[in-house]
Amino acid sequence: MSKHSTGKRVLALAAVAAIFAFLFAYDFHTYLNYESISANQGRLSAWVASSPYISMGAFILVYIIVVAFSLPGAIWMTLTGGLLFGTWLGGGLTVIGATLGAALIFLAARYLIGDMIREATSAPDSKTGQALRNFETAFNRDATSYLLVLRLLPIFPFFIVNLGAALVGARFSLFFITTFFGIMPGTFVFASIGSG
């Protein structure tokens, strides 16, 4: 690896770390819970009514951040999407935000932290390494079906699938499409619950 690409990688990791620190320093994740959403429902609904496009864009952006940084609260975001925008629009905005956030994790794992993760899990007795090898074995049998099933049935945490797919060499387009379509059913169920 050249000095130039190492410098870029370090700079990108520093930027990600700074954003992560900022989010936690200001307790960003504490706003993604039932109490906070209930307390602000009136204000949020009024904002959506007065600024529908800005509020939709903000919702997608917040969802991207939640997923990209694996913050707790994605389920509350999905329910809130249904509450504020209705089942179909709220579900659609959630799918867009979640897919873009997952894509960011995938790309970070592929180009920024993948080598570090592989090195940390390379020991033969590493449980994480063994889990990654099992993931790769199943992935190599039928990549599309495997990724789609992992999205339809959340067997593993969302961020684990994002990282695993990048580390085993999934094509970005395959990852993106299976994420987009695979999360739809569950997302629309939760958005429907949120819409009442």
- pLDDT tens digits, residue range 57-113? 999 999 998 899 888 788 889 999 999 999 999 999 999 999 999 999 999 888 887
Residue 53 or residue 133, greater confidence? 53
Give CA–CA dist 176/189, Å, rounded: 21
**Would you place residue 176 in the very low, low, confident or very high pLDDT band (cuts 50, 70, 90)?**
very high
13-22, 151-160, 168-177: range with lowest mean pLDDT:
13-22
**Would you place residue 145 in the very low, low, confident or very high pLDDT band (cuts 50, 70, 90)?**
very high
Is the confidence at residue 3, as pLDDT, over 60?
A: no
Arithmetic mean of pLDDT over the chain: 85
Is the confidence at residue 133, as pLDDT, over 80?
A: yes
What's the pLDDT at 118? 76
**Would you place residue 51 in the very low, low, confident or very high pLDDT band (cuts 50, 70, 90)?**
very high
- The mean pLDDT value for 163-191 works out to 95
What's the pLDDT at 57? 96
The pTM is what?
0.82
What's the pLDDT at 28? 61
Q: How many structural domains compose the chain?
A: 1
Residue 19 or residue 65, greater confidence? 65
DSSP the chain: --HHHHHHHHHHHHHHHHHHHHHHHTTGGGGSSHHHHHHTHHHHHHHHHH-HHHHHHHHHHHHHHHHHTT-TTHHHHHHHHHHHH-HHHHHHHHHHHHHHHHHHHHHHIIIIIHHHHHHHT-STT-HHHHHHHHHHHHHHH-HHHHHHHHHHS--S-HHHHHHHHHHTT--HHHHHHHHHHHTHHHHHHHHHHHH-
Q: What is the CA radius of gyration of the chain?
A: 18
13 CB-near residues (< 8 Å, 6+ apart): 112, 113
Is the confidence at residue 4, as pLDDT, over 60?
A: no
- The mean pLDDT value for 9-16 works out to 63
Range of the domain at 97: 3-195
**Would you place residue 9 in the very low, low, confident or very high pLDDT band (cuts 50, 70, 90)?**
low
- The mean pLDDT value for 140-146 works out to 91
